[in-house]
Amino acid sequence: MYNVSQEQLETIDVVLKEDLLSIGVHCAIIIDVAGNTIAQLDNGRCSFDVVSFAALAAGNFAAVDAMAKLVGEQQFSLHFHRGENESIHFSKVNEDILLICIFGQDVSLGFLRLKTTEVIDKIRLIWGR
């Protein structure tokens, strides 16, 4: 069992809000590889079941990661599902945690990837404290 301090969680929330929600991301979630939700921030209009989503996302990410290793890749650098209205972007923060962004057509994938790279660096620093 592990825990993260209140200060760390609050700083993570600030990063998600300022760097992701501010550019139009509908929902940003940090989960661990076991499927636990560590942080979740949304624009107030997301009403899906985050707990089940986190469990499925962790499973999905782990399955794709295992497939990468089977074909001799360390990992696939882009893990992204495009929908008609909502799309999902996954990124690995470190060996233990993942960042998931749910966003609409008003956010370009390239810009989101740029922002998530910055966010990942910031979260790694916070996580390492």
Partner 1 sequence: MGFINVKKKEVQIKIVYYGPGRGGKTTNLDYINKKYKQRIKTEMVSIKTHGDRTLFFDFLPVDIGKIHGFDIKIQLYTVPGQVKYNATRKLVLKGVDGIVFVADLQKERRDSNLKSLEQMKENLLSHNKDAFKIPLVLQYNKIDLQNQGIPLLTVEEMEQDLNQELRVPYFVGSALAGDNVVETLKKIISMTLISFRKELQ
What residue ranges bind partner 1 (CB under 8 A)?
Answer: 1-6, 9-10, 32-38, 49, 51-52, 55-56, 58-59, 62-63, 66, 96
Closest distance to partner 1 from the beta carbon of 55 (Å): 5
The tokens of 14 are what? 């600030």
Pick 61 or 112: Cβ nearer partner 1? 61
Interatomic CA distance for residues 9 and 89, integer angstroms: 21
Pick 23 or 62: Cβ nearer partner 1? 62
Pick 21 or 35: Cβ nearer partner 1? 35
User: 34-60 b/e with 16+ CB inside 10 Å = b?
Assistant: ebebbbbbbeeeeeeebeebbbebbee
CA 66 to chain CA centroid, nearest Å: 18
Closest distance to partner 1 from the beta carbon of 41 (Å): 12
